[in-house]
Amino acid sequence: MVTITLDELIRKTLHKNGLPLHYYLPYLLFAKDGLKELKFTVLPCDNTVELTLDSRKEATLPADFVGEVAVYKAEGDKLIELPHNYLISTFDSPSAFPKELQINGADASTYIDEFGNDLAGDFGRINPRTDGYRIIPELNKIRLDNNSDLTKVYLKYVTLPKKTSNKTLVHPFIEPALTAYINWQVAFYTVNDRTVMLKRAEYYNQRRLAKINLYKINITDILTSFRMYHNQAVKS
């Protein structure tokens, strides 16, 4: 895949703005911030990893994990997306759960398993959900339902911009947007409000253009453009 390095982009932007190499570091700071923002908004999907679950049905998140896009299980030659389950306990170990807890006079273990998972949600279900997952950022873990029989899951996640031997790579489609972001930030710290607003508008135009180049237009984009200058939703 064709990419350019952040270094090339900064040098080109400095040249366009008629500045010497002495402004490299401020531009590098703005470029890194801009690239992170574009990575999280325009280029969200970045990496996929296979995670092996332990006996507790959990796995440690990758070191470069920022946020999840989706979690899949393998079924034959297909990947099936797993649902979220926000009822999965966030207790780190069984001992953290107070076993003496009583619910309606009955032993809590009737309703809650040894890890603190609520069992009542599945009561009466013929096919209780077994493969839901929960990302637990404070533990840096992904955890599946305790009764899942999966041993591996596939995590698609957002990560920080990629580097090759300490050189940050930039997707060609987002190059104009990133340049516009740098110019906006430079203007923000140096010149008057009107110029800042113009540069800001230019950045958002370029970001939209990058998104159009990368993906098909979707319903969210259409609604966003319809409601751009309105604070309220359309009333039915």
Partner 1 sequence: MSTRLSIAEQIQRDYKRWLGEEGSLKEAIDRREVFPLINQVANELLGLQMQNGFKTGSIIIPSTIIATYSNHAVKQEHGRYYALLPVFPLSLPRNVGIFSVIPQSGAPLVDGKPFIPLTQEDWDLLRDTDEGLLEDQIGYYVEGRQVFFTKNPLVTVVKFKLLISDPALMGDGDPYPITPEIEATLIERVLAILKGNTSKQPTPKSQDR
Using CB under 8 A, list all residues that contact partner 1: 5-7, 10, 18-25, 28-29, 32, 165-168, 190-191
Burial profile 26-48: b = 16 or more Cβ within 10 angstroms, e = fewer: bbbebbbebbeebbeebbeebbe
Nearest approach, Cβ of residue 21 and partner 1 (Å):
6
Instruction: Say which DSSP state 112 is in.
Output: B
Q: Which is nearer to partner 1, 35 or 112 (CB)?
A: 35
Q: To the nearest whole angstrom, how small is the minimum distance from the Cβ of residue 29 to partner 1? A: 6
Q: Which is nearer to partner 1, 14 or 142 (CB)?
A: 14
CB of 103 to partner 1, least distance (A): 49
Q: Which residues contact 37 (CB under 8 A, 6 or more apart)?
A: 181
32 Cβ contact partners less than 8 Å away, ≥ 6 residues apart: 6, 161, 168
Q: CB-wise, 139 or 160, nearer to partner 1?
A: 160
Smallest separation (angstroms) from partner 1 to the CB of 33 = 10
Give the whole-angstrom CA distance, residue 141 versus residue 62.
9
Output the smallest distance, CB 63 to partner 1, in A. 14
CA dihedral 104, 110, 115, 120 (to 10 degrees): -80
Which of 15, 99 has the CB closer to partner 1?
15
Please report how close the Cβ of residue 194 comes to partner 1 at its closest, in angstroms: 15
Q: Which is nearer to partner 1, 25 or 197 (CB)?
A: 25
Is the Cβ of residue 24 or residue 91 nearer to partner 1 in the bound state?
A: 24
3 state DSSP class of 131: coil
φ, ψ of residue 141 to 5 degrees: the values are: -135, 155
CA dist 197 and 27 (Å) reads: 19
Q: How far is CA 12 from the centre of its chain?
A: 29
